[in-house]
Amino acid sequence: MNFELIQNIKAAFQLNFNEQPIVVFAPGRINIIGEHTDYNEGFVLPAAIDKGIVAAISKSDTQTCTILALDLNESYQFHIDKVSAIPNGNWRNYIIGVVGEIKKRGLEIAPFNLVFGGDIPNGAGLSSSAALENSVVFGFNELFDLGLTKTEMTLISQQAEHNYVGVRCGIMDQYTSMFGVENHALLLDCRTQEATPVHIDFKSYELLLINTNVSHSLVDAAYNERRQVCEKVASLLQVQALRDATEADLHKIKENLSEADYQKALYIIQENNRVQKAAQLIRENNLEELGELLFAAHSGAQHQFKISCDELDFLVNKAKENPQIIGARMMGGGFGGCTINLIKKDALEQFTRDISRAYLEAFNHHCSFYFVKLSQGTHLI
Ligand code: GAF
């Protein structure tokens, strides 16, 4: 828990509104394995982390809602009855979206004051947006006594992203940020939205995240396009979602598909199988084989689903060359953000030093390193 962040948010709230707010922490997430399987109603294996968003919220005694984004030093005011997506509204749409989605369900929200900030960098693929949505919906639920369950709040956050941000994301990020369990990953069945916590003992290994510090443009468009391809192939296969198809099923309709679409669908089917295998390997404490699955997942993301980029491939290739790293892959939606690496603890110092230098030389800008703990989901503080 980042106490300095909490203090800063509380202090900024006092300074601007001079009231006692409720304060919520919503975590970001990592994903051990399972990318783009969530909207195919398949499995994912993410975990909430000890970095996230802190939001302080109180009722306002005017008709205006005032929001302060502390890290960006930006603010926004709007009338509670005028809620619609803002073109290029950026962080504003995550919050407006949650307000809009709550109202859509016939629930009443009164004007509010909100200050938020966080310690997850934007664009790192650690789901700062889901954390923001969850912190806000969770805060509103407390403040206005809305009686929403955690599952309902998760869906409100996801719908805010679909309808106000324009990304047709799956359920993984919002679910994980809401339901995370300390020291566990969640084996989440995205169809039933039921998760089994899987305890992870990293033994002599450490989880290292390396941020490429790039977020290539058109990410949202490319994401929605991938989803469309998956839905098209599922409909050709006459199944509800690609989760219901096997490699053999897909092979039967190969002639009706372009090679690119065939490979994308094949990736999803294989990735879904990898997730289930990964959960089993973690339970058996077999991190070495888990590492191999991570490398295989990256290869699929790079060559079949085509969501990687030069910077991510560079970091994963460097990891592969190093025998002290047993697995690595790109993490999240793709086209930038972080890689996740399973590395021997005593190799950390040397590797991070070497990779810093090599990355700078190759791309002329720095990469960053993060270490995270697997943590509990959204809660009051
Ligand atoms: C993004 C989305 F928000 C998730 O739903 C998921 O699809 C992920 O990309 C890829 O696995 O984070």
Instruction: Look at ligand 1, atom 5, and give the residue with the nearest C-alpha.
Output: 170
**Quick one: pLDDT at residue 217?**
62
Distance 134 CA to ligand 1 centre (A): 15
In the structure encoding, which two tokens stand for residue 286, read together? Answer: 């077999």
ipTM greater than cut 0.85: yes
SS3 of 28, please? strand
Q: Is residue 251 part of a domain?
A: no
Q: Is residue 75 part of a domain?
A: yes
Q: Is residue 214 part of a domain?
A: no
Query: Is-catalytic flag, 145?
Result: no
Q: Is residue 15 part of a domain?
A: yes
| Residue type for position 26 | A
**Quick one: pLDDT at residue 220?**
82
CATH of the domain at 86: 3.30.230.10
Say which of 61, 173, 244, 346 is annotated catalytic: 173
**Quick one: pLDDT at residue 218?**
61
Q: Tell me how crowded residue 74 is: count the other CB atoms within 10 A of its CB.
A: 12
Q: Which of 223, 230, 243, 329 to mutate to test the pocket of ligand 1 (most atoms within 8 A of CB)?
A: 223
**Quick one: pLDDT at residue 122?**
79
Q: Is residue 125 part of a domain?
A: yes
pLDDT in tens, 318-363: 999 999 999 999 999 999 999 999 999 999 999 999 999 999 999 9
CB 42 within 8 A of CB 272: yes
Domain count, the chain: 1
Q: Is residue 181 part of a domain?
A: yes
Give counts: helices (H), strands (E), the chain.
Answer: 11, 13
Q: Is residue 211 part of a domain?
A: no
Q: Which of 33, 158, 172 to mutate to test the pocket of ligand 1 (most atoms within 8 A of CB)?
A: 172
pLDDT < 50 stretches in the chain: none
Distance 34 CA to ligand 1 centre (A): 9
The helix-helix angle for 150-160 and 128-143 (nearest 10°) equals 130
Q: Is residue 112 part of a domain?
A: yes
pLDDT in tens, 274-308: 999 999 999 999 999 999 999 999 999 999 999 99
Instruction: Look at ligand 1, atom 9, and give the residue with the nearest C-alpha.
Output: 333
Q: Which domain holds residue 69?
A: 3-199
